[in-house]
Amino acid sequence: MTSSAPTPEIELELAKLPPAVLEAYQESLGPVGGAFGPDEVGLWAKEGVSIGSQTIRSWEAAIEYYRVSPHVCRFLSFPSFMQWARCGTYLAQDSPTLAVAFFKSSVAIVPNLRPQYIPRWAGLGRSLYKGTWKSSTLAAKFFEVSPELVRSLPFWDVEVFASLVEALSYKSYDVASECLTLGKDVLPGMGREREPFLAMARALIDTSWREVKTCLELVPRALQHVDEAQTGRFLKLGERLAKVGLRDTSRFLSDGTQALGRVPSGSQGYILDLCDQLAAVAPEAVPPFLRSLDSVLTRITVSQLDTWYQHGMRLLQDNPESGIAFFKIESNTSESMLETLSSSLELDRVKGILRLYCRALSGAGVEILNTKELVRRNIGWIDEDSASTDGSKVFLPPVVDHYSNKQDNFSWFKVVSTHQVGHLEFGSFEFLFDKQATQFEDRRHGMEEEINARRAEELAARRAMADMARELAGEDAEVTFVEVGPEGAASAPESPGSMRTYTDIGRFLAMFENGKLAFDLFTVLEDCRLDYRIKVEYPGISRASSRVQTETLERRPKIEDMPIQQAMVELLIHMSLERFSGLPVPEEYEEAAVMLSRILHQLRTAAANVEDTAEATLRAYEIISRLPNQTEEEDQWDEQDLEEPGEFNEEEFQDLIDRLQADMEQRSEGQEGDESYESPEPVDYRGDFKPEMVQLLTRLQADSGEQGEAQPMTQEMLEQLLQESDELELDAEQGDITDSMTTFAQNIMKEAGAPPPNSQPGQGYGPLLHDDDQGGELETREPQTFLYDEWDFRANDYKPRWCIVKEKTVEEGDINFYQDALKNYQSLSNHIRRQFELIMPESMRKTYRLIDGEDLDLNATLEAWVDLKMKIPPDDKIYWHRNRNRRDVAVVFLLDMSASTAEAIDEGRQTVDDRDAPDDPVEYMVWLRRRREGLVRRNYKRIIDLEKESTALLVQALESIGDTYGIYGFSGYGRENVEFYVIKDISEGFGDKVKRRIDKITPLHATRMGAAIRHAITKLENQDAHTKIMFLVSDGRPQDRGYSREGVEKEYAVHDTHMALVEARQKSITPFCLTVDKAGHDYLKSMCGDMGYEVLGEIWSLPERLPMLYRELTARRFVRR
């Protein structure tokens, strides 16, 4: 006892206190003496006396002091120790109970608390003490729970929490105490969200402190529903709402998280954006919004949500009451808006189905595109809502919401696309001027000659005039054709004056003086022919299309209100929409109407072709153009039934024309006053019909493809042609027309220059949406770089040579990683190896009792022989055969080395339940081991670490069965820099090099999966194996610059990856995707289609699952004998 020096006086002092103090002192003297020097022990002992003598009951604290000292002194240096002791002394001064609690907790807390924090910690407890009995209990309780808190929380958070409790204690000690207990249980389980949560709780104190406790109770369960990355934002939102005095924060917490939990993952951030915006305008609208969210999202998609939300937002700004009602879905507006949105159908969703549908019907590689696309190309189509076709693509409006349910809206799409495809299927664009019509006699040629003759005459007259003028003026400047051209419209077909003869339809339409009328007639008659054809060919669709027709009819203008010419065209439209009875016809022109109806009926037969339409147009034009375009009095109209107007007859027609002609001549002498002819309103569902443009485009494409002697069309010629055409309705003022005409012409030339569909991969068109599209094809200059195309789903075509893949070999690292991995997973690795080895014998086993084989199976032969002797029919299966089917597998593993694989795996979650412990003893051991490892090594693990470990296990297993395999990693940044890392090349042998490389697999940049997959395909393609497998291990959706941003690009990446996988399959490679992204189901489904994929529920199972999956995948393919 070296330190006995101070003992006597101290003991004397202590003897004044209850004897238990002295006992405690003596007991601890030994161990403390061992830790500190004699003088220090003296100080220690004295401090105890000082504690004991602070107040009447402080001797209890002294006992505790001495009792814990031996434990505490192991962790603290003497100065810190004394600091600690003095903290106790101060506490004892105020309340011995506090000091006792302080000392008691010290044992557990000192190992985890930095010495300099001890005074602050003591201070936290002290601050809770307000001199009352209740407060001292609370403070003592704080000391009691603090070891637990300090162990798992940063000290700063403990301080915040303590101040929270203190603030609560002003309101109610009971609540504060309960929260303290709850906090101890709840807070350690939280991650990054703790801080915002505490801040939110803090904010609650001022407004509704009772909520704090409920929130604490709710929060662990509630936050499970929210994406980890979003919890912080969510809680901040809560704080904000709490600060503005919103009641029911706990309700917000539970409802809000539940709502978010139902939102498709990945969209939570978006929803929180919306909430933030709402909170800025009217915080009280946020909870109703979140509460409604679930039911809203069952009816509409997240992308439609915006429309609904924005509407509510506007209401909110005008009138908060109605805005909140809107978000509660307690207003009619909200309800009906949801109704419309939920029943509307977006083209994108059904595009795939419609594309195949149109292809089936037309037999051509038709594409379905958005009408916006067509308008954007600026080649003459201007209406974004009308369906149309340009001969190789069908354009449909982006959204249909005519009806209150999706089914009906889809049938509308179907009716419309059937009509557009009808143009292709029934040859609207195949009009040839010289082709025979089937229902009419040829009148085109005669008329053309007549007109040409007349025009030549006019021309000659003009020339003569010009000559005379020149003679008079004495000039010898030439007056060319072109100068007179525009007014004189077309001249002789061969003359270069009019460009319209470039297309057959142009040549036909150029004959008419009133081009607009002729074109309108051609459109309505051709549509009539098509609708009839469709009705006959596709009776299944007739119900839907009749419905559309009936609805269209209801919206047509009244015939009686129109001037005669227009009324007659409208009459034809009515008839083309299958309305034949009760049609108003002007008494005076009843005969003409009947004749028109007869002409129209000629087209209502399956044999009618587009040339018939032309002939019909010609005849209808001849009739209508001879009528005056004047409005008739109401009593001049008669209801007529034109269902069966009788047969068309050329003679009767001629008679009628003659009579009308006579009338007209007579009339022209009399009054003038015809209104100028206006085109009828378009028929919605039939969309835009532009035969001349289509023929023009086709012709231009063909010509540019041929490079023939045929004189190529210049831009000027094209402009002239477009000017003459009646198909272009230009809204622009006269001055702009020439400008826009030039743009059109240029665009059209560009369009035509693009290769015709289905030839080579084109470049796509239209302004592209992301910056990555800048620039074009790439070139490779360095060795070990490869070029790949990329699939652009918008253009439905490949972008040629779009990505550069750079192949690099991974650096070599430490071989120990490989060995450690095997060691750590020893039982698992053995298990896997056993499983793999089982595959082998299957392939070389003898099969007995066969009808045919290598040799006789003696057992079976003898049996058969005996049977024969016994006159029993023997079994003829008496051969054996060795199954020589060698396992012939080549496999490529593609590991995701993107930056996101650096993410730590949350180990806390892994302990959630023990229920899924496997039943199988072997697996159980594996499972147990894995768990223990997880618990022992508390330093965190990353996804990539698991990938690496899995690779090690897999390599070992693969070596045991001798499959050909390659292991590669991929990452990169941007399309010109897709990195492809070789860990083991497929043709490379296995050795230490490979083992070392595994160590160096590290998270890098982004993931452009498509290109990596294509390169892997190249690798596999050169392998001569029976079964080829490509195994993709990733941690999330494909991402890269210009590859994955929200919206279209995200889809772009998924589509490209899908296409790459399809390519793999076309090359008889079996792709399989394994992802550890729990949210993987949504995009993997579209990415992999019917190809195999798996979403790993529990990331820890990766090392186990990967080899097993591989085994199953290959074994299944090998059951054939």
Partner 1 sequence: MVEAAEQEVQHYSEYAIEEFLVRAEPYYRAVGDEMELFSAAYQQHIPVLLKGPTGCGKTRFVEYMAWKLGRPMTVIREQQNGGGAQEVREGEVRVPLVTIACHEDLTASDLVGRYLLDADGTRWIDGPMTRAVKAGAILYLDEVVEARKDTTVLIHPLTDHRRILPVEKTGSIIEADDRFLLCISYNPGYQSALKDLKHSTRQRFISIEFNYPPREIEREIIQQESGCTEEQADSLAKLGEKIRNLEDHGLQEGASTRLLIYAGRLISEGIPPRRACQVAIVWTLTDEPELQRSLEEVTSSIFE
The answer to whether the CB of 767 falls within 8 A of the CB of 756 is no
341: amino acid identity, one letter: L
Query: Residue 1069 or 1076: which CB sits closer to partner 1?
Result: 1069
Cα–Cα dist 926/1104, whole Å: 9
Q: Sheet containing 855-856: which strands, arranged edge to edge?
A: 846-850, 879-882, 855-856
Rounded Cα–Cα distance for residues 910 and 320 (Å):
46
Footprint on residues 535-574 left by partner 1 (CB under 8 A): 537-543
Whole-angstrom distance, CA of residue 40 vs CA of residue 52: 19
Question: Shortest distance, CB of residue 112 to partner 1, whole angstroms?
Answer: 57
Name the residue nearer to partner 1 (CB basis): 130 or 877: 877
By CB under 8 A, residue 781 contacts partner 1: no
CB of 601 to partner 1, least distance (A): 23
CA gap 575, 597 in Å, rounded: 8
Dist CA 1104 CA 143 (whole Å): 45
Burial of 24 from C-beta contacts in 10 A (0-12 / 13-18 / 19+):
buried
- The nearer residue to partner 1, 274 or 864, going by C-beta atoms, is 864
Other Cβ atoms less than 10 A from the Cβ of 369: the count is 23
Burial 188-209 (b: 16+ CB within 10 A, else e): eebeebbbbbbbbbbbbbeebb
- 427 versus 934: smaller Cβ distance to partner 1: 427
Q: Which of 819, 1009, 790, 977 is nearest to 898 (CA)?
A: 1009
Give 223 or 369: the residue with its C-beta nearer to partner 1.
369
Q: Give min distance, CB of 1077 to partner 1, in A.
A: 23
In the complex with partner 1, the residue whose CB is nearer, 362 or 977, is 362
Give yes or no for residue 1118 binding partner 1 (CB under 8 A): no
Minimum CB separation from partner 1 for residue 192, in Å? 41
Say whether 780 sits in a helix, a strand or coil.
Answer: coil
Binding flags for partner 1, 490-529, as an x/- string (CB under 8 A):
----------------------------------------
- 956 φ, ψ (degrees, to nearest 5): -65, -45
Closest to partner 1 by CB, 763 or 861: 861
CB of 878 to partner 1, least distance (A): 8
Going along 498-613, which residue ranges are E strands? 583-586
Stretch that binds partner 1, among 860-868, 980-988, 992-1000, 1014-1022 (CB under 8 A): 860-868
Choose which of 476, 554, 771, 852 interacts with partner 1 (CB under 8 A): 852
Rounded to the nearest 10 degrees, how much is the dihedral formed by the CA atoms of 953, 959, 964, 967? 30
Angle, to 10 degrees, between the axis of helix 1102-1116 and the axis of helix 826-844? Answer: 10
- Stretches 50-58, 857-865, 900-908, 1095-1103: which one binds partner 1 (CB under 8 A)? 857-865
Q: State the nearest-atom distance from the C-beta of 876 to partner 1, in Å.
A: 7
Which residues, including other chains, have CB under 8 Å from residue 769's CB and lie 6 or more apart? 1048, 1049
Compute how many residues bind partner 1; rule: CB under 8 A.
Answer: 35
For residue 361, the minimal CB distance to partner 1 (Å) is 6
Question: Measured from the CB of residue 217, what is the shortest distance to partner 1 in angstroms?
Answer: 45
Q: Which is nearer to partner 1, 418 or 725 (CB)?
A: 418
* 3-state secondary structure at position 690: coil
| Six token digits for residue 87 | 């903290």
Q: Which tokens is 209 given? A: 């402190």
What is the H or E stretch that residue 808 is in?
Answer: strand 797-809
Site track for partner 1 across 869-908, x = CB under 8 A: x-x--x-x-x------------------------------
Q: Quick one: 352 or 646, whose CB is closer to partner 1? A: 352
Q: To the nearest whole angstrom, how small is the minimum distance from the Cβ of residue 220 to partner 1?
A: 40
Radius of gyration of the chain (CA): 44
Please say which residue, 996 or 1055, places its beta carbon nearer to partner 1: 1055
N-term to C-term CA, the chain: 87
Where in 803-842 is the site for partner 1 (CB under 8 A)?
A: none
- Classified as helix, coil or strand, 591 is helix
Residues of span 993-1022 touching partner 1 by CB under 8 A: none
Helix H, strand E, coil C: the string for 849-897 is EECCCCEECHHHHHHHHHHHHCCCCCCCCCEEEECCCCCCEEEEEEEEC
Output the smallest distance, CB 701 to partner 1, in A: 21
- By CB under 8 A, what part of segment 410-469 binds partner 1? 414, 418
β-sheet bridge partners, residue 688: 388
Contact call for residues 217 and 189 (beta carbons, < 8 A): no
Q: In whole angstroms, what is the distance from residue 501 CA to residue 654 CA?
A: 28
- State the CB neighbour count (10 A cutoff) for residue 939: 6
* Among 559, 644, 538, 655, CA closest to 601: 644
787, containing H or E segment = strand 785-792
Q: CB-wise, 417 or 824, nearer to partner 1?
A: 417
Shortest distance, CB of residue 1020 to partner 1, whole angstroms?
Answer: 15
State the nearest-atom distance from the C-beta of 630 to partner 1, in Å: 44
* Nearer residue to partner 1 within complex by CB, 878 or 1069: 878
Q: Quick one: which segment of 257-265, 383-391, 866-874, 910-918 binds partner 1 (CB under 8 A)?
A: 866-874
Contact 46, 5 (CB under 8 A): no
Does 858 sit near partner 1 (CB under 8 A)?
Answer: no
Residues between 1042 and 1081 that touch partner 1 (CB under 8 A)? 1068
Binding mask 1081-1100 for partner 1 (x = CB under 8 A): --------xx----------
How does DSSP classify residue 767?
-
Q: Which is nearer to partner 1, 911 or 1018 (CB)?
A: 1018
**Judged by CB, which is closer to partner 1: 51, or 1084?**
1084
Of the candidates 469, 505, 477, 470, the residue with the CA atom closest to the CA atom of residue 490:
505
Element (H, E) at 983: strand 978-984
Separation of alpha carbons 191 and 201, rounded Å: 16
Using the contact rule CB under 8 A, the part of the chain among 44-52, 533-541, 888-896, 1001-1009 near partner 1 is 533-541
Residue number with CB closer to partner 1 (539 or 670):
539
Nearer to partner 1 (CB atom), residue 391 or residue 969? 391
Under the criterion CB under 8 A, does residue 116 sit at the interface with partner 1? no
- Find residue 786's DSSP bridge partners: 805
Report in angstroms how near the CB of residue 1120 gets to partner 1 at its nearest.
8
Minimum Å distance from CB 178 to partner 1?
54
Residue owning tokens 């008659």 = 525
Distances (CA, A) of 836 to 565, 830, 902: 85, 10, 30
Other CB atoms within a 10 A radius of the CB of residue 766 amount to 15
From the CB of residue 281, how many other CB atoms can be counted at a distance below 10 Å? 13
User: For residues 349-388, which are near partner 1 according to CB under 8 A?
Assistant: 352-357, 359-365
Q: Applying CB under 8 A, which part among 321-329, 618-626, 865-873, 1076-1084 lies near partner 1?
A: 865-873
Nearer to partner 1, 126 or 414 (CB): 414
Q: How far is the CB of 1075 from partner 1 (least distance, A)?
A: 22
Say how far residue 206 (Cα) sits from the centre of its chain: 43
**Residue of the chain from 170, 865, 924, 940 that contacts partner 1 (CB under 8 A):** 865
Nearer to partner 1, 291 or 414 (CB): 414
Binding site for partner 1 (CB under 8 A): 352-357, 359-365, 414, 418, 537-543, 852, 861, 864-865, 868-869, 871, 874, 876, 878, 1068, 1089-1090
